Every structure is written in structure tokens, then in C-alpha cells.
A and B are shown apart, each in its own frame.
Chain A
Amino acid sequence: MSEVSGTGSTEAPAPAGDQLVVLDNVNKHFGALHVLQDIDLTIHRGEVVVVIGPSGSGKSTLCRTINRLETIDSGAISIDGKPLPQEGRELARLRADVGMVFQSFNLFAHKTVLENVVLGQTKVRRTDKAAAEKKARALLDRVGVGTQADKYPAQLSGGQQQRVAIARALAMDPKVMLFDEPTSALDPEMINEVLEVMQQLARDGMTMVVVTHEMGFARSAANRVVFMADGRIVEEAEPNQFFNNPRSDRAKDFLSKILHH
């Protein structure tokens, strides 16, 4: 994954046959709030799934359950055929294969940009330092922040920080990337620079789960749109189908509010 394919076609690759992430009848409560209700969702290798929905619909929680940052009350989640284990070394190993990008970037504040991208490789993958740095610099160049390598995260703009965060996740060669509202904390003029990196990733065939409010990204990059409301998956469809001809009233209502104002 460390090379950018020069022939990035505009066509999104068709989902391959095999299932990478499977959520089976997942339920979760926050106290009295039933935040995830009977969630069934299968993500295939190479597929880009965009999760949209109103605030509080459970879409961020859904994203965070996939690498077990949130535990679930019932149901099962498996990644590449392996069910998520309990907290411990085995879970840590599995998490290394699942890249995560947060709304608030969460770059390590006491480490430089380069160290942020190197750390996981050397401490988790046990890559030797020179190779890790070489790969980190290549990834930073790829997301367009190669010149910032020796700065600390606080010295970078939000858009730059988020691109570093994407590079940090990519450095682990993940099987799937989770994006939890990656552009929601960004100033408007910085949103595109992050979305472009994500578009490129999608074109390169990365399996992605993206929770977002960016409908433009959903239209252009997604293989499938998952619409959530009140803890349930209300509708799943191809982007064109979903945006032009939503079936559920809930989705029609949501789209009318965000697309016409």
C-alpha cells in the first residue's frame, strides 16, 4: 500500500467476493439509550462503505465497535474471518490490521510528525528504524505533508494533522481503514485536502468504512451508502440510487434537510 498507483482509474473497483468485516446482529446500549439495534453489516474486501445519518444515530459508535474501542452488548463482529477477541495482546494484534482515523486527529502531541508515523511500525510491527522512517517519509509525501516531518502536531493546520493521521494508520499496512467523521473538526477550506487523500485511497482499492457528513465524497467514492437513524440501519444502497431515489421516508427527510438550504 505504500505506493501510489499511477493509473488510478476514476471507476471505483467493484467489490470483490470475500467478506472482510462482518457485523452480525450487533446491539449496544449507553445506559438506557439503545444506541445500536440489531446491526447487520458486511463489508467486502476493496469496498468503500460510507455511513451517513443524523447526529446521535449511532454511526460513530458503529465505526468504533469495529476495532473494539467500544464494546458491544450482544451479537458478533469478525474481521477477516476472526471474531474480535477480548482486550489483550490478541486484540492489539488485530487492531494493528485495522487503521483508524479520528475526528479530532489524535496525533501524539509529544512526538514529531515523523515519530507519529514511525512509532506503530517499530513498536508493534517490530520494523527496524531505518526502514520505518523511509516508509514514513514516503507516506508523508504521499499525503502531501512530507516537508512537515520534523514539526510537532500542534504546529500543523487541522487538515495537515488529519493527513498525518491517515499516514500513521497506513504505515501499519491495514486491511481496512475506519474513518470516524474525519473532516468534521476541520475548517471548510481544509476539508478538500483530506477528502482528496481519501479519494486516492479509495481508488487504490483500500477497504474503507467512512462515517461522514460529506455527501459529495459519498457520491463520488462510495460503493455503498449506509443510512443510519436512531441506532438502526434504515437503508443501504448504491450512492446514485440513495441520493436520487431514497426509499425510506427517514432518508428522504434527512436528504431534504441537508441538500436544499
Chain B
Amino acid sequence: MNVLLDHFPEFRDGFLGTLAITAASALLALVLGILIAGFRVSPIPPLRVFGTAWVTVLRNTPLTLLFLVAFFVVPQVLIPGTSPFVLATLALGFYTSSFVCEAVRSGISTVPIGQAEAARSLGMTFSQTLRMIVLPQATRTVLPPLSSIFIALTKNSAIAGAFSVAELFSVSKLLSDKGFAIGWIFLWIALAYLVITFAISGLFRVLERRMGVAR
């Protein structure tokens, strides 16, 4: 108990750190994932190839390896002096985007083909059809897998702690290095993660209930 009260500021900062990096990379993953899913179902072959390559590379690479690339290759080659928070967000966001993309694509395939045909028959372009007709109807189907993906992302964000981003896992490491009882530290850390993951599943349950499309 004491370890929490005595080091509350550290725990609080760790919690906020995990929250921030999870939110930032979830947003990045969502935007990229939807965009790449659009590429994968597009009528333009080069875009489809790019989308497939994106998913294949990022989904099949260990996340730790992506972190290594983000922290040791990206600053050297592209943008020196980027903060660890941004680099970790890039690694987590890119990695998770490949899973989001596949969830969105599976949602797209549940929308009856006639919906897209009707939209195209009205003269809507591919991107209009996708944005206005197909994706809104795919959303409901995509929510359950998306919820799992974001919960996994929350827990994956612990890797950022090993790359000098201040978050929950780095707090636990700091305190156990100082010799505090590891059991209590883990308990509080685990509870902090649960708060975030329960909040995510609650949010998605609400969204699911709101977004039913009657057929």
C-alpha cells in the first residue's frame, strides 16, 4: 500500500503517459488503417499492392523490432532529434494500423455488394462510395475486433517504457530497481492498465449499441 501512496506522483505520471501514448497511437492507427483498407479494396492496382505490402510487412514484424527501427534507424536516416514519445507513437501506430486495416476490410466485405453498385450507378466515385455508403455501414461490424485491437495496443505500449518513454511499465521498473516489494508494484500497475482497458471495452459497447443499421 505504502509504495502507491509514497510514490503517487510517479504512478500518476506513468498512468497519464500510458494513456497519452495509447491514445496517440490509436488515433494514428485508426487513420492509417482506414486509409490502407481503402487502398486494399481500390480499383487501382498499385494502391492495392501498396496496401498488401503495408499489412504484410507491419503485421508480421515483431513490435520490438519496429521499436528498434523507430529509435535507431528513423532518427539517423529521416528526422534526427525526434522525441521518444513521437518515435514510440510511430512504431505502435504503424504496427497497429495493419491490424485495424484488416478489421476494416473484413467489415467492408460484410456490406452487401448491391450498396456499392447502387452508389456507383448514381455516378458516385470510388472514394465517395467508400466514404458515404460502405464505411458507415461497415462500422458496426468493425467495432468488436477494433476494441480487441485497441486493448492489445494498450498493453503493447509497455514496450515504449523500455525505450525511455515515461509510462506505467517504466514506473514499475524504476520502483522495483529501488527495491520496493514487486508484488504491490505489479498489483497497482495491473489495476492502472485495467482502468484503461475496461474504459476501452465500455466505450466500444456503447458505440456498438448506438450504431445498429437496420436491414
A residues contacting B by CB (< 8 A) are 67, 69, 87, 89, 92-100, 102, 104, 106-110, 119-120, 123-124, 152, 154-155, 165, 168-169, 172
Contacts and interface: CB of A to CB of B under 8 A. Distances in A.
A119 B119 CA distance: 9
Contacts of B119: 108
B114 to A, nearest CB: 4
A64 B43 CA distance: 18
A135 B89 CA distance: 49
Nearest to B211: A110
Given A106-B114, A106-B117, A110-B213, A120 B124 contact: yes
**Binding site secondary structure of chain A:** mixed
Contacts of A165: 118
A102 B214 CA distance: 19
B121 A95 contact: yes
**Binding site secondary structure of chain B:** helix
A98 to B, nearest CB: 7
Contact of A107 (B43, B118, B123): B118
Contacts of A99: 121
B141 to A, nearest CB: 13
B137 interface: yes
Given A106-B112, A108-B119, A124-B122, 11 more contacts: A93-B123, A97-B123, A100-B121, A109-B137, A110-B136, A119-B122, A123-B124, A123-B132, A124-B123, A155-B214, A169-B122
A99 B136 CA distance: 24
Closest 3 CB pairs of A and B: A96-B123, A120-B122, A106-B118
A102 B213 contact: no
Residue in A95, A97, A108, A152 whose Cβ sees the most chain B Cβ within 10 Å: A108
A69 to B, nearest CB: 6
A92 B123 CA distance: 4
A172 B124 CA distance: 12
B115 interface: yes
B148 interface: no
A109 B132 contact: no
A124 B120 CA distance: 10
Given A110-B213, A123-B132, A69 B137 contact: no
Contacts of A154: 214-215
Nearest to B140: A110
Contacts of A123: 124, 128, 132
30 contacts: A67-B121, A69-B117, A69-B120, A69-B121, A87-B43, A87-B126, A93-B123, A94-B123, A95-B120, A95-B121, A95-B123, A98-B121, A102-B117, A102-B118, A104-B112, A104-B114, A106-B112, A106-B115, A108-B118, A109-B115, A109-B137, A109-B213, A109-B215, A119-B122, A123-B124, A123-B128, A124-B122, A152-B214, A154-B214, A172-B122
Nearest to B114: A106
A95 to B, nearest CB: 5
Contacts of A155: 214
B133 interface: yes
Contacts of B43: 87
B56 interface: no
Contact of B123 (A102, A110, A172): A172
